[in-house]
Amino acid sequence: MKLPTSPTPPSPEPPAGKPATTAPAGDTAPATSADSARAQLDRLQLANRAEILAKVTRILNQQQGASQQLLLDIRGKPLTVNAAIGETQLAVGDLVKVMRAGNELQLLGKLAPPAEARIAQALAQRLPWQQRLDSGLAQLVRLLQPPPSSGPGSQSGLPGAQQPLLPVPVRQAIEQVIARLPSQQSLSQAGGKETLAPQVRQWLAESGLFAEARLARGGSQEVPDLKLALVRVVSTLLAEQGSDAGQFRRLTPLASPELVQSPLQFPQPLPAPPATGRQEPMPVGQMLRLLAGMLNRVTVNQLHSQVLTTRTTADGAAAAPTATWLLELPWLNTEQQPRLAQLRIEHEARDREDQNREGKRHIAQWRFSLAMDLDEMGPLYFEVALQQEQVSARVWAERSQTLTRVEDQLPQLRQGFRDLGLDVLDLDCRKGKPQGARTQLEHRLVDIRA
């Protein structure tokens, strides 16, 4: 890669509404000789034979069969080079490893996209095709309801008799999905922590977020898991139709408008799906598209969790060790209608200097955010922070009567924390909803401090 012998073109124009940045004095020396090329490389603090990572930010000019002019980002500064087109084809966003050889840069190779970029790309591909789990499950529940009677004497096998809406294997697969959902009654009956905690742990484990991890550990496809159970419904439907998985992958998944408008905001309480009567027979293709959208929703939560866990800071460095899990937990209300609880769990671990003793002290902090829409109480939001033996919690309610009920329960909640051996720092209840930080899908490919 050679530096051009004509004056270096200006940096890309700033976005509308932002002022252009002025280069410091000495950064715009004319590139008309070998000395100017050497000066540009020296200003980048790049010694001879030194290797460094660069990012292709723009392709300024490309001549057929000869060379292309590239704008590279090296240590946060732009550098224009003329690169001969060989077997290595470069595109905007590519990471390349270069070495200074005198007054030129030698291309050592192109790096594969980092894992974070691949995860973000897979997430972006699925974002527009998400189906709400509660509304999708509600449609499957309605398909299980028996059809209306065709009249006196209507029996299976007689002319004009009403045939089953679903093949028996498909019906059984859907029934297994619904049977594994916890019910409001079962959760309310588990009064003590000895009985409720195991149910909640099982609820989290079977959410579908850990499906592939369980299989990687040698688990069976038959283990209780929401994602695997939905996959079994798909495979059963395809088997009944004599189709293969390739046909399923070619279908366009059904999407929920609420998830298309703000696909990355989590938790985001959604209104309960409308309660309707028995659903008319759904074509097989439509049912497969519905299931594809539901599977995409679970996969988006998995990928989104990985993006948040592997996120970097503004300067390209890895953030503090934080694991993030985004879960959607379907459950059945008293009328056996599917509802949804959205849970965000964050675990941050860091070492801090211990003033009482030499060395560092390991500090772990947990943060929980829960959003759900209860039929009688409306939307509720919970935020809990736990560090060592100290806990703080805040509850939001949108309805005034719900706010009053929650405030009446705060002393009982405080005592419950104390019974667990926790020191309650803050316990509050507010009207409305929390102003959560917006989630953006962004990732850095170059550590600008390299």
Residue 339 lies in a domain: no
Overall average pLDDT of the 250-276 stretch: 83
Q: How far is CA 169 from the centre of its chain?
A: 33
What confidence tens digit (pLDDT) does each residue in 174-216 have? 999 999 898 887 777 765 666 678 888 889 999 999 999 888 8
Same-domain pairing of 214 and 265 = yes
**Interatomic CA distance for residues 343 and 345, integer angstroms:** 7
What is the four-CA torsion angle of 104, 110, 116, 121, rounded to 10 degrees?
120
The single-letter code of the amino acid at 138 is: A
What confidence tens digit (pLDDT) does each residue in 99-110 have? 888 888 888 878
What is the four-CA torsion angle of 38, 40, 41, 45, rounded to 10 degrees?
120
**Interatomic CA distance for residues 366 and 88, integer angstroms:** 46
Same-domain pairing of 137 and 101 = no
| Residue 24: pLDDT over 80 | no
pLDDT at res. 187: 75
Buried b (16+ CB within 10 A) or exposed e, 317-339: eeeeebebbbbbbbbbbeeebbb
The single-letter code of the amino acid at 345 is: I
What confidence tens digit (pLDDT) does each residue in 67-124 have? 678 888 888 888 888 877 566 677 777 888 888 888 888 888 787 766 777 888 889 8
Same-domain pairing of 295 and 183 = yes
Pairing verdict, β 378-387 and 390-397? antiparallel
**Interatomic CA distance for residues 83 and 67, integer angstroms:** 6
**Interatomic CA distance for residues 306 and 393, integer angstroms:** 26
Same-domain pairing of 255 and 122 = yes
Residue 320 lies in a domain: no
What confidence tens digit (pLDDT) does each residue in 377-426 have? 889 999 999 998 999 999 999 999 999 999 999 999 999 899 989 999 99
φ, ψ (nearest 5 deg) of residue 33? -155, 175
Lowest mean pLDDT among 192-196, 246-250, 324-328, 436-440: 436-440
What confidence tens digit (pLDDT) does each residue in 297-312 have? 999 999 999 988 876 5
Could you tell me what percent of the chain has a pLDDT over 90? 36
Same-domain pairing of 175 and 193 = yes
pLDDT at res. 67: 67
SS (H, E, C) 202-229: HHHHCCCCCHHHHHHCCCCCCCCCHHHH
Q: What is the largest CA-CA distance in the chain?
A: 100
Same-domain pairing of 249 and 289 = yes
Q: What is the CATH number of the domain that holds 77?
A: 2.40.50
Q: Using a cut of 0.75, tell me whether the model's pTM lies above it.
A: no
Overall average pLDDT of the 116-134 stretch: 89
Q: Which domain holds residue 218?
A: 118-146+166-312
CB 381 within 8 A of CB 368: no
Q: Is 111 exposed, middle or buried (0-12, 13-18, 19+ CB in 10 A)?
A: middle
Residue 252 lies in a domain: yes
Residue 343 lies in a domain: no
Higher pLDDT, 164 or 349: 349
Q: How far is CA 151 from the centre of its chain?
A: 50
Same-domain pairing of 224 and 203 = yes
Q: Is 97 exposed, middle or buried (0-12, 13-18, 19+ CB in 10 A)?
A: middle
| Residue 43: pLDDT over 90 | no
Residue 260 lies in a domain: yes
Q: How far is CA 36 from the centre of its chain?
A: 47
pLDDT tier for residue 237 given thresholds of 50, 70 and 90: very high
pLDDT at res. 211: 92
Higher pLDDT, 241 or 437: 241
pLDDT at res. 64: 54
pLDDT at res. 314: 39
Is omega for the bond preceding 267 within 30 degrees of 0, making it cis? yes
Same-domain pairing of 94 and 181 = no
pLDDT at res. 135: 94
| Residue 340: pLDDT over 70 | yes
| Residue 435: pLDDT over 70 | yes
Q: Work out how many domains the chain is built from and give that number.
A: 2
**Interatomic CA distance for residues 385 and 341, integer angstroms:** 18
Q: Name the β-bridge partners of 151.
A: none
| Residue 233: pLDDT over 90 | yes
